[in-house]
Structure 1
Amino acid sequence: MTKDIDQLSINTIKTLAVDSVSAANSGHPGAPLALATLAHAIFQKTKFTPNHPKWPNRDRFVLSNGHACALLYSILFLYGFDYTLDDLKNFRQLNSKTPGHPETPHCPGVEVTTGPLGQGIANAVGIALAQKQFAATYNKPDYPIADARTFCIVGDGCLMEGISSEASSLAGHLQLGNLTVFWDSNKISIDGSTDLAFTEDVPERYRAYGWHVIDVDEENPSLSTLSKAIDEASKVTDKPTFVKIKTTIGIGSEQAGTAAVHGAPLKPDDVKHLKKAIGFDPEQSFVVPSEVTDYFKKSVESKDKQYVEWQKLFKDYSHHYPELAEEINRREDGRLPPDWERFLPSYKPSDKAAATRKLSETVLGALTPVIPELIGGAADLTPSTLTRTQNAVDFQPPSTGLGDYSGRYIRFGVREHAMGAMMNGIAAFGSNFKVFGGTFLNFVSYAAGAVRLSAISQLPIIWVGTHDSVGLGEDGPTHQPIETLAHLRAIPNLSVWRPADGNEVSAAYKAAISSVSTPHVLALTRQGVPHLEGSSIEKASKGGYVLVEAQDPDIILVSSGSEVSIAVEAAKLLGKNGTRARVVSMPSFFAFDQQSEKYRFSVLPDGVPILSIEVMSPFGWSNYSHVQFGVSRFGFSAKYTDIYDYLEFTPEGISSRANKTIDFYKGSKLLSPLSKPFYPQSFDLFTHGR
């Protein structure tokens, strides 16, 4: 066995990764074999310590090609993160710490959940942005308490996905000199050679984006070559760095350089061949030489010293800047400013009607000065989403004259998918960033991959989705979301809010900003809505509540958003004919489902027919109503009032359907739609397993 400790360490990383994949009989051994040297070089150069894994000034590492996670788990294990050999042996097994792609917060040392290609590099751009903003906000002369960097490995697949282009373009514009991306150019994808579909000059593309590009000539470069590239990248402070590295996928195996080694375990004879070639016993598995254990232990001791030095710096900083230090400590503890909720606006029915997007602007204007960790922007829709508050400073390179790095308003450009993944990165950075992004609700669908990962990763980001229905009017069916809320509501651990008035908008923001593990989507109107008699922030915070009560109701009208006020008028119309109608406002299924059974049944009891009203797909409303009045077709280009009249979302249209519902169920023994043999939300991913 070689005694060159670096090479021995690299070979140990390789064999641990291969053994993990073989033990599972599932996984991707090719990339870990090709990238072990690079990963070793990066982790040698980066600032972190497993003894303080949440150190705010640690460097961040993102494995965008997350299928190579056996590599990441192996190196994290060697550095002393909370993994054992048994965890590596349980790779890809139920409830293990080593799932088939890196997951946060379940996997120690993993910064973001990766796997869907392109998401990781966009996350890395978001992390680097957060690092820049945090540093510009809190650093002082002679006190560089925030000077961390972000490192990311991407594969060919990541760079084929459009999201990586979106994020890389913005990173270049923002001159994120603290970001280094390594491209593992092995010219292999699942279909075979990348010559089949991916032949562009990628380094030239990144130069055009405004990146510093390092093209490493050496194939399967040595540790020293890679270390020099990392050093060069770290000296570039005015632009992100893109490093092209040519590797051979599955190097050392008998299938090296082929697609066959990408996504299937090595055959047993090939594992033995590989181990023998690099000096390991081919008959043994999960071997960690004592020299390697000692080497990584000493490396951690060195990294611990960096942490201790930073602690001393921060202690001195705290003496000179006590208010800023306390603010940093508060944010790191996950605490919001005291009494921030009192700044949430509340409304009376006599207040002027307004679009809920406008009411959202009011909330952001009230909270932005109070909550310094509140940061966000829009996907080139600032005038439409109303997400930029008065006196906001844009997050921009100071050299552009457009803002500075302490700015808290982000111009994401027309890049919804990158915006979603960058928001995930900003939230994953930590320091309790509360990040929001604005676009039309329909175009949240452009970012569906990132939205889903927010929920999986328990990142409490906030989507401000305006123009929430056919109520946006003349832009027509291409812009009018019909199925969007049904899709979003179906995603586990995603809280969707469609507020009906100003109090409900404030309740939605209260839930979103208070959240520590659930992302939120706020669906907001373009058209004006009245402030409702009976609404309040407290009531709306329950997700669903009785807005208009009726004694022994003949029917319950349950609705959300702009249709709630129409339902109220329909109830009045029904009352003129002697029909008693309760009106329930349901701004959030997710929040309502968290309430006690007693409360939920008090709102939607047995024995009363329930009609839901929402001017979009009725899919999902059967959990809360017996009959659904919705829209199962695409919209129209017309004035919104004409569309509502045409679709009969009017007091008359609702009251007519209410009467038909009452007649249909007359004489029936009717159970609430909440009545089920078991509550469908009872198995919670985040409290069971793992």
Structure 2
Amino acid sequence: MSSKQSSLDELCVNTIRTLSIDAVQAAESGHPGMPMGMADAAYVLWTKFLKHDPSNPDWYNRDRFVLSAGHGSMLLYSLLHLTGYHLSLEELKNFRQWGSLTPGHPEYGLTPGVETTTGPLGQGFATGVGMAMAEKHLSAKFNTDNHQLTDHYTYGIVSDGDLMEGISQEAASLAGHLKLGKLIYLYDDNEISIDGSTDLAFTENVEKRFDAAQWHTIKVDGHDRQEVEQAIEKAQAETERPSLILCRTHIGFGSPNKQDSADSHGAPLGEEEVRKTKENLNWDPDAKFHIPDDALTHFRRAIEKGAEASEEWQDIFEQFREKNPHKAEAFTKAINRELPTDFEDILPTFEPDVKGMATRASSGKVLQSLTQKVPQMIGGSADLTGSNKTWIDDAGIFSASDYSGHNIHFGVREHAMGAALNGMALHKGVIPYGGTFLIFSDYCRPAIRIAALSHIPSVFVFTHDSIGLGEDGPTHQPIEHLASLRAMPNVLVLRPADANEVAWSWKAALNYKKGPSLIVLTRQNVPTFERKKENAAQNTTKGAYILSDSDKQQPDAILMGSGSEVYRAMEAKEKLAAKNVDARVVSMPSWELFREQDQAYQQKVLPKDVLARVSIEAAATQGWKEWVGTEGMTIGVDRFGASAPYEDIFREYGITSDRMAEETLKLLG
């Protein structure tokens, strides 16, 4: 390398460092140490390897970059501005301020070029694994020898904190097993965390750990740009294993008094230390947010390179479309997440049946019908495929030997599964879903929250939804889960009452774009209700509807519930009729969808003048007062479950039609 090029590289790297330093100092909060330490490695990646188009951030075949160490967000913001994304210098100056595009941690959908929301450590690591999985699947489905429509890498920067979090082990194990060779992570091995030196709590051999997980590992000096470049080249050449490049770095690089110190991790350097650091980096200590012309010119070459790459890909696609028109149409529909409009013809219809079936079973049947018309669907279960009914017949297994398969074996890795679903959805081209028991939504919760925050349309299938799972006992019986998940903004919770509601719940889930959808299903059988035009299962998509109405113009009482308890409300209606009480039964599969309906519809279903209202749900009663009102009664489970046949538990806990009828009579006086 010429001395001139070396000098320019140094100028560019220090531009990244000083922008990060100045932004954190201006905000009087933030994390300067990581951007200062990883500037060399990030510079090499972004200027020599990363395939991206700043003028078209959503170009499909771009390389994905995940800053899993999201606290170092100024590293990413600096790179985005310098390489020409629509992120102005003023936005960098407004780091962490109200209304800026530069929040404390990167947020997908807010800042151009940010591929995923990061900050909760380990989430980015596992989300990137999902992106790499989607890349493998789509390349296997659509690429031809002459036309590589999907051909990109997933890169990331991960930290000590990411690797300490358990989710990283789950995701690394899955990635190694699947031989995701186009997944390349740079590990910021600076040996410092918030509490101090990492050897306070983290002394494992990271290299051997990833070797054991079937990763390709390389150790480099993270400040030796040539070593980093050679390591990335070796990682690209390794096609059978994902790669971890262990970059030994110095946190707060260049700071005379805070380099290699936890003091530079999560706080500004301070005005005096900023001056000393800039002097140490041969920078004008009085210059703030300074970008040398030579550095900017060099970084902005990314615009021309990116445009050339995206135009070249467009030419490849046009050639592909000319030779494979039907396949090209399918590809376009996949990446645009186009869904059918004729769900009435696609979804199965289930005949009335007193015995019925478990809603997890009907969900499995619905899935078979859906996937015939929505081929983008891909998913599986956290080692509970038979229980969750998430298997797609005749669709193959997604594996290292056949990435075109649609059935994914996630293993007992709920944390990683949730984040991987998000990564696949963010990648686009697939509609991912994942299944486990509702109780283990706790393990998926961080990923569900990221999906909700970022408007990621991941689909979760949660079975064994209540004390109805019986003998496995309280450790497996969810109580508070529905209430807590309903409390999360942008999450669509669907708890269907019978097989036909299940079918339309799937339709609602696939069409929901504000965030993740959670389809909550029973282990035990529930009846399949008789349907007429006035109580058609299509009403499920409205969130709540009249399943069985009163004969009067206005009912004496309203009985409401969700899921497996709706048929108990139907039984209670019959018991009340014997006592000359004419009740309405309202099925409420989704509070969120019902809230979206206009007031006229809400008033039609739940007229305000009817104060005698009783809800029933085999879960915590929290939240039901919104629907029964202050004078209504809620029947539920506000204690942990028990191990016994489920019929016994329902009886002992008072989740019965008899009790519902009794409480209704009390309200009526």
- TM-score for the superposition, normalised by structure 2: 0.96
Q: Distance in 1 between matches of 2:264 and 2:301?
A: 34
Match of 2:596 in 1: 594
Shift of 1:348: 3.5
8 A contact 1:61–1:150 mirrored in 2? yes
Shift of 1:569: 0.6
Choose from 222, 225, 228 the match for 1:223: 225
Amino acid aligned to 2:498: D
Q: Distance in 1 between matches of 2:246 and 2:353?
A: 63
Q: Distance in 1 between matches of 2:353 and 2:613?
A: 29
RMSD, matched Cα: 1.4
1:387-416 deviation line (CA, Å, top 9, x unaligned): 002213110011xxxxx1001111000011
1:92-138 deviation line (CA, Å, top 9, x unaligned): 11121111100011111000100000000000100000000010000
Moved over 4 A (4+): none
Amino acid aligned to 1:425: G
Choose from 403, 416, 419 the match for 1:421: 419
Match of 2:609 in 1: 607
1:475 corresponds to 2:472: yes
Shift of 1:248: 0.6
Shift of 1:586: 0.3
8 A contact 1:341–1:510 mirrored in 2? no
8 A contact 1:504–1:536 mirrored in 2? no
8 A contact 1:571–1:583 mirrored in 2? yes
Shift of 1:350: 4.4
8 A contact 1:118–1:164 mirrored in 2? yes
Match of 2:539 in 1: 539
Q: Distance in 2 between matches of 1:314 and 1:244?
A: 37
Shift of 1:341: 5.0
Q: How many residues align?
A: 655
1:177-232 deviation line (CA, Å, top 9, x unaligned): 0101111111111111111100011110100000111112x3x4322111111100
1:313 corresponds to 2:316: yes
Amino acid aligned to 1:526: R
Match of 2:572 in 1: 570
8 A contact 1:215–1:243 mirrored in 2? yes
8 A contact 1:29–1:68 mirrored in 2? yes
1:323-376 deviation line (CA, Å, top 9, x unaligned): 111112223333224535521112332486110000100111001121121111
Q: Distance in 2 between matches of 1:147 and 1:168?
A: 21
8 A contact 1:460–1:518 mirrored in 2? yes
Amino acid aligned to 1:465: F
> Any gaps of 5 or more consecutive residues in structure 2?
none
Q: 1:351 to 1:610 in 2, by over 3 A?
A: closer
Shift of 1:518: 2.1
Choose from 223, 234, 237 the match for 2:236: 234
Q: Counterpart of 1:368 in 2: which secondary structure?
A: helix
Q: Counterpart of 1:624 in 2: which secondary structure?
A: helix
Moved more, 364-373 or 203-212: 364-373
Q: Counterpart of 1:365 in 2: which secondary structure?
A: helix
Amino acid aligned to 2:422: N
Q: Distance in 2 between matches of 1:339 and 1:351?
A: 29
- TM-score for the superposition, normalised by structure 1: 0.93
Match of 2:258 in 1: 255
Choose from 519, 522, 526 the match for 1:525: 522
Match of 1:148 in 2: 152
Match of 2:338 in 1: 335
Moved more, 318-327 or 419-428: 318-327
Match of 1:684 in 2: none
Q: Distance in 1 between matches of 2:170 and 2:472?
A: 25
Amino acid aligned to 2:563: G
Q: Distance in 2 between matches of 1:298 and 1:435?
A: 36
Q: Distance in 1 between matches of 2:449 and 2:164?
A: 20
Match of 2:94 in 1: 90
Match of 1:510 in 2: 507
Shift of 1:662: 2.3
Choose from 346, 350, 357 the match for 2:349: 346
1:189 corresponds to 2:187: no
8 A contact 2:548–2:586 mirrored in 1? yes
8 A contact 1:340–1:370 mirrored in 2? no
Choose from 650, 663, 667 the match for 1:661: 667
> Any gaps of 5 or more consecutive residues in structure 1?
399-403, 664-690
Choose from 109, 112, 130 the match for 2:113: 109
Amino acid aligned to 2:168: S
Q: Distance in 1 between matches of 2:130 and 2:441?
A: 18
8 A contact 2:67–2:124 mirrored in 1? yes
1:62 corresponds to 2:62: no
Q: Distance in 2 between matches of 1:94 and 1:410?
A: 41
Q: Distance in 2 between matches of 1:134 and 1:157?
A: 31
8 A contact 1:376–1:436 mirrored in 2? yes
Q: Distance in 1 between matches of 2:644 and 2:34?
A: 53
Q: Counterpart of 2:202 in 1: which secondary structure?
A: coil
Match of 1:179 in 2: 183
Q: Distance in 2 between matches of 1:615 and 1:75?
A: 51
Q: How does 1:28-427 map to 2 (within 5 A)?
A: 28-44=31-47, 45-216=49-220, 218=221, 220-253=222-255, 254-337=257-340, 339-350=342-353, 353-398=356-401, 404-427=402-425
Shift of 1:303: 2.5
Choose from 639, 644, 649 the match for 1:638: 644
Q: Distance in 1 between matches of 2:511 and 2:369?
A: 16
Amino acid aligned to 1:103: E
Amino acid aligned to 1:328: F
Q: Counterpart of 1:369 in 2: which secondary structure?
A: helix
1:558-600 deviation line (CA, Å, top 9, x unaligned): 1000000110010110011011211110000111111111111
8 A contact 2:465–2:521 mirrored in 1? yes
Shift of 1:46: 1.2
Shift of 1:169: 0.4
8 A contact 1:340–1:371 mirrored in 2? no
Q: Counterpart of 1:509 in 2: which secondary structure?
A: helix
8 A contact 2:354–2:529 mirrored in 1? no
Match of 1:549 in 2: 549
Match of 1:676 in 2: none
8 A contact 2:633–2:663 mirrored in 1? no
